[in-house]
Amino acid sequence: MRSSILSVRSVRILFIGCWVFLAALQSAYAAGPVQLKKNFEDILVPSDAIQGIEDPDGKLSFAAINTLEFQKKINTLPYGAKLKADTYYWLKFSILNETDKETNWILQLPLHSENLLVYIVRPDGSYNAYQTGQQLDFQTRSIDMRTLAFELPPDHSAPIDVYVHLYHKEHSELTFIAINEKSYLETHTKGYLFLGLIYGILFLMAVYNLILYFSIKERTYIYYVLYILSAAFFISRKDGLAFQFLWPHAPQMNEYHHSVSLFLLLTTFLLYTNSFIDIKNTHPRIYLVNNIILLINFLHFVFTLIYPAYSSPLPMVSICSFIYFLGVTVYYLNKNYKPVRYLVVGLSAMVMALIVLKLMFLNLIEWNWFIEYVYNYAIVIDAIAMSLAMRDKLIYLRTKKEQAEQAKLEEERLKTENELIQLKNLKLESEVTHQNSQLAAFATNSVQKMEFLNRLKKELEDISTEVPDNAALKKLIKNIDKESDFDNHWEQFQLNFDKAHNNFLARLKESYPSLKPGDLMLCAYTKLGKSNKEIGTLLNITISGVEKKRLRLKEKMNVSPEISLFDFLLQIK
């Protein structure tokens, strides 16, 4: 039992001893200097190598912080702990130069620091003091570059201490980089060339689309130009070029640069998107929401102008607005509006870049050279994608226009064909009417002729009773009978009637083979609208005989008693 207790105690003692050893090792590592090796080009000062102490009122001097009493206190606050926002701090780290004496080293501080006090202390206790930052004239910088950089003393005997007094704002960039002079010059020369290429591309895109605007007079192009200029103005803050080249002696402009450029970027993008997709006409509700979002950003923008202390890099209201615009473009892409596909690509690149930068400002990811230029990459991708989107839109609209014109031509062709068909039908109808009139006239003439011949025959027959042996009179009566022969009359009438009515009688005979010539003639006269009296005269029968003949004809053709023969025949085309 005793051995068991000793065993437990031994384990506890061993655990506590290991914990104390690791804590001491970590503390020693945290307090240790950053070593500059011969094969190093640059090194990011790790957070564990930085110590700090809070300066509540911002009035703690370097002379006070450099005393032994404060040196003990500064070691008690590891920089790994989260710093308070809106608070002054003294930060300290050490650098040990283990390279050759010919290699000069430069210390690069966060670019967007507003007002920094930097003290570089040599091993013998002497120091160089610098005051610089975005709130001071550009000429205060010890190295005439867009970055905040200072030469490190060429001491190799012992570590060099660096003290930095700063005001810690929320989302501050706290990156300290030691870089040898050759690499610094090469890196920043390439950086200027790279940035020159970026701005050159943006400038050419703006000029090209401005020319297109004057050629096409499409408002989307002018909104694109304004957006590109706003984007260039926005990244000029991140790059530091605006301060170096536009207002080097007006550092107060830096206080408003970020808020103004970000609001202009969002506003011009909204104008471009509304015009590009024609949201006002295609989806009024989305257009209303867009305007509400713009109003919210405007109010935030005005607030940051009135209270600059509350401004922060890439506020969430702006990032969320761009994410919303990305959602709108995806919505229209799902609606099969193809030109918006390039806009989705460009906006996705921009949103991802904004999120990466925001995570860096929140100290959730570490700085690196890719992140340094991530928004520059994104804005070039976005500019090219938006330009391609407008080209795609022109092709899309041209295709739609050609389709509309083709549809209009097809409509006009069909309309013309219909008019021609109507004219043809009218002509045919007119011809049929004319032919029917001729047939009716022929039938009328036939009726009148037969009536005349019948009267003449009767008169001649009356005369023949008085002169029975008159051969000439009998010959004349015989000629009259021959002239009023039904078969001759019917053949001529049938020929003319079928010619006018698309072989109506022939087709009727084919459909109803039991019909006789007298039945067909009754059908023909009925179709022409002849009265029973006229038909009786033509067929040489009484009116009652015509009625009976109609009834028998309907039975042969299986026509319902309720349907008149005339209506039935009209249905047969």
Query: Domains of the chain by range and CATH?
Result: 31-184 (2.60.40.2380), 409-571 (no CATH)
pLDDT for the residue 208: 93
Rounded to whole angstroms, what are the CA distances from 571 to 213, 552, 563, 567?
A: 66, 19, 11, 7
Specify the pairing of strand 105-109 against strand 42-44.
Answer: unpaired
Euclidean distance between CA atoms 507 and 529, whole angstroms? 20
Question: 172: closest CA among 292, 85, 250, 55?
Answer: 85
What confidence score (pLDDT) does residue 118 get?
94
Name the residue among 125, 112, 179 with its Cα closest to residue 150. 179
Q: What is the structure's pLDDT at 243?
A: 92
**Length of the chain, in residues:** 573
Question: How large is the greatest C-alpha to C-alpha distance in the chain, in angstroms?
Answer: 178
Give me the pLDDT at residue 80, please: 53
How many helices (DSSP H) and strands (DSSP E) are in the chain? 20, 10
Question: In a structure prediction context, what are the per-residue pLDDT tens digits for the chain, which is 573 residues long?
Answer: 334 333 445 544 444 444 334 334 344 444 578 999 888 888 888 888 888 888 888 889 998 888 878 877 777 666 556 677 778 899 999 999 988 878 889 999 888 788 889 999 998 889 999 998 888 999 888 888 888 899 999 887 889 999 999 887 755 667 899 999 999 999 889 989 999 999 999 999 999 999 999 998 889 999 999 999 999 999 998 888 999 999 999 999 988 898 999 999 999 999 999 999 999 998 999 999 999 999 999 999 999 888 877 777 888 999 999 999 999 999 999 998 888 999 999 999 999 999 998 888 777 887 787 888 899 999 999 999 999 999 898 888 888 888 888 888 888 888 888 888 887 777 766 666 666 666 666 666 766 677 777 777 777 777 777 666 667 767 777 777 666 655 566 777 778 777 777 888 888 888 888 888 778 888 888 888 888 888 887 777 888 888 888 888 888 888 888 888 888 888 876
pLDDT at site 17? 47
| Number of Cα atoms under 13 Å in the Cβ half of residue 116 | 28
